[in-house]
Amino acid sequence: MSPLQWRELLTGVLAEAAEVDGGRVASYVPALAATDPSLLALAVATPDGDVAAVGDRDVPFALMSAAKPFTYALALAEHGFAKVHEHVGAEPSGARFDATATIDGSGVPYNPMTNMGAIVTASLIGGRTFGERRDRVLECLSRFAGRPLDVSAAVLDSQRLAGDRNKALAYLAHGSGCLAGDPAETVDRYFTQCATLVTVGDLAVMAATLACGGVNPRTGERVVGADVARTVLAVMTTCGMYDASGSWLVRSGLPAKSGVAGCVAAALPGRIGIAAYSPPVDERGNSVRAMAACARLADRLDLHLLSARRPPEAGSHHPSGAV
């Protein structure tokens, strides 16, 4: 498709998503509570390195839980699957994202897409000092996005003030022996990754990097190995949308991860990375309109992971040129 065709398609999908009602802007992080609920954006990135974005595409937002797949990828790249999964599982929990539930009461978090699992994963990131470990995470997120990313001081401070539950999860995991290192330092690094700012185009590129087997399609840099990208996408498929992961897979057929600030990142291996942003979220913490936009686009482009289809012709469904 030409850039004009992509703009028309994405604009149409976004207009349909805008008609979907429901959800509220997350308020448990005070810095998010004042976000304009009417913001709406949609972007795609392809293996060719092309990016198309419409709507409020230049508005930055905090990754929040959408950072989890990428820091999980970093932990896997540093330690390997076996070592990481001594500390965290890879099973759907069926519980809220901030639940204290662990696998069979063992103290091991169900998966790295829950808050406890992500905090444990963050504790595994290497570095000699707190600053070095924090910078490794920000550098990783930036490499996935293909440009240097910044952290929102307001969101970070807000999490520090209102993040008692996440702090409790860190100490609970430390008490069970799953969390390596100091829990207070670890949860602060977790807050930092959550407060990292992206645009919808950045997030689409990050998703596309996973879809491309760990190679950033914009920069050509190998960020993580193909085996790591595959593992991350597998966990996103079963766990990325919290206790709505099953219904989401039936609906869209896409590995995806949401963030309570209102974003959804989705990817189809070898085909596309998608990101949508709309602040109002449902009771599970998933953006109502962002899910609608991603699911509608997946339907339009026949992206369902489990669809029986002939291989796409070369160049089909790929934007040609940045928009």
Bridge partners, residue 102, by sequence: 109
CB-based contact 211:47 (threshold 8 Å): yes
Write the DSSP string, 239-277.
HTTGGGHHHHHHHH---EEEETTTEEEEEETTTEEEEEE
Residue listed under structure tokens 């230049």: 58
Q: Which residues of 44-63 are buried (b: 16+ CB within 10 A; e: fewer)?
A: bbbbebbbbbbbbbeeebbb
Q: What are the residues whose beta carbons fall under 8 Å from the beta carbon of 24, sequence distance 6 or more?
A: 37, 280, 281
Phi-psi label, residue 94: left if phi above 0, alpha if psi -120 to 50, beta otherwise = left
Q: What tokens does 160 get?
A: 């520090």
Residues marked as binding?
65, 115, 166, 190, 242, 260
Tokens at 231, concatenated? 């593992």
* Residue numbers belonging to the annotated binding site for substrate: 65, 115, 166, 190, 242, 260
Integer CA distances (angstroms), 9 to 75, 229, 310, 320, 322, in order: 37, 28, 22, 14, 15
Q: Tokens 């508005």 belong to which residue?
A: 59
Residue 245 CA from chain centroid, whole number: 13
Choose among 52, 51, 3: nearest CA to 217: 51
The DSSP output letter for 24 is E
Answer for the pair 259, 64: CB distance below 8 angstroms, yes or no: yes
* Other CB atoms within 10 A of residue 156 CB: 20
**DSSP letter (8 states) at residue 279:** S
